Amino acid sequence: MSTLHFEKLSQYDRLAEPVSVSIPFSEGKLQDAERFVIEDAGGPLPSQRRVLARWADGSVKWMMVHFQPDLPGNLAKTISFRIASGTESASSPQPAKAVRISEQEDGLVVDTGPLRFRVPRAGFLPVQDVVLEGVQTWPAPFAGFRMETDAGAADSSRSAVELEIEEAGPLRAVILVRGRHLKADGSQFLGLRGRITAYAGKAYIEVEHQFLHTLDLEQVSMQGLRLDFSPARNGAANPQLALGEGWYRTAIEESDSEVSLTLDTETMLYQSNEHFIDSYYGDFWCDWRDAQGGLCLSIHQAHQNFPKGLYGHSEGIACLLYPAGEPPAPVLQGMAKTHRIQLHFHGPQTSLDELSQRSLQFQLPDRPSLAVEWYRDNNPWVETFFPKGLPRRLFTDLNRLHDGRPKALGMMHFGDAPDSGYTNQGRGGGENVWVNNEYDRPHACMLYYALSGQRRALDSALVSARHWLDVDFCHHHPDPLIDGGLRIHTRYHATGRCTPSHEWTEGFLDYYFLTGRRESLDVAVSVGENILRHMALPSMSQPGEATVREGGWAIRAYVGLWLGTGDQRWRNEAQRLVEMFLDWHDQFGALLAPYTSHTMPRVPFMISLTVNSFARYLLIDDDERVKRLIVAVMDDLIEHCLGPDGVFYYKELPSLQTTAPTPHVLEALTYAWRISGDERYLRVATNTFAALMANLEGKQGGPKFADPSGAVIDGVGGGRIFADKYTSLILYAGAAAPVGLLDWYEYPYPGAN
| Least confident among 485-494, 588-597, 655-664 | 588-597
Pairing, β 712-714 against β 705-706 = antiparallel
**Which residues, in sequence order, are CB contacts of 143 under 8 Å at separation 6+?**
125, 155, 157, 228, 230
Q: Reply yes or no on whether the pLDDT at 687 is more than 80.
A: yes
Q: Give the containing element (helix H, strand E) for 101.
A: strand 100-104
pLDDT at 594: 80
Average pLDDT over residues 81-88: 86
- pLDDT of 295 reads 97
What average pLDDT does the segment 404-420 reach? Answer: 95
- Given this structure, which CATH class describes domain 100-363? mainly beta
Q: What integer pLDDT is reported at residue 87 of this predicted model?
A: 74
Distance CA 98, CA 105 (A): 23
Name residue 329's beta-bridge partners. 222
Taking a C-beta distance cutoff of 8 angstroms, is the pair 297, 343 a contact?
yes
pLDDT in tens, 691-750: 999 988 766 777 899 999 999 999 888 889 999 999 999 999 999 999 999 999 999 988
Amino acid at position 661, single letter: P
Helices (H) and strands (E) in the chain — how many of each? Answer: 17, 34
Predicted pLDDT of residue 258: 97
pTM for the whole thing? 0.97
Secondary structure of 675-729 in HEC code, one letter for each residue: HHCCCHHHHHHHHHHHHHHHCCCCCECCCCEECCCCCEEECECCCCCCCCCHHHH
CATH number 2.60.40 given to 2-83: yes
* High-pLDDT (> 90) share of the chain, %: 86
Q: Which region among 169-173, 518-522, 715-719 has the lowest average model confidence (pLDDT)?
A: 715-719
Does residue 1 have a pLDDT over 70?
Answer: no
CA distance 400 to 697: 9
Residue 699 is predicted with a pLDDT of 64
Q: How high is the pLDDT of residue 433? A: 95
**What is residue 470's DSSP assignment?**
I
Which SS3 state, helix, strand or coil, does residue 154 take? strand
Q: pLDDT tens, 307-320?
A: 999 999 999 999 99
Domain ranges of the chain: 2-83, 100-363
Q: What is the pLDDT of residues 597-653, one digit of tens each?
A: 898 888 999 999 999 999 999 999 999 999 999 999 999 999 999 999 999 999 998
Per-residue pLDDT of 235-258, as tens digits, reads: 768 899 999 999 999 999 999 999
Contact 236, 222 (CB under 8 A): no
Q: What is the Cα–Cα distance from 569 to 111, expressed in whole angstroms?
A: 43
Q: Mean pLDDT over all residues of the chain?
A: 95
pLDDT per residue as tens digits for the range 423-457: 889 988 889 999 999 999 999 999 999 999 999 99
Model confidence at 139, pLDDT cuts 50, 70, 90, reads: confident
Rounded to whole angstroms, the Cα distance separating 686 from 682 reads: 6
What is the distance between the alpha carbons of residues 176 and 286, in angstroms, rounded to a whole number? 26
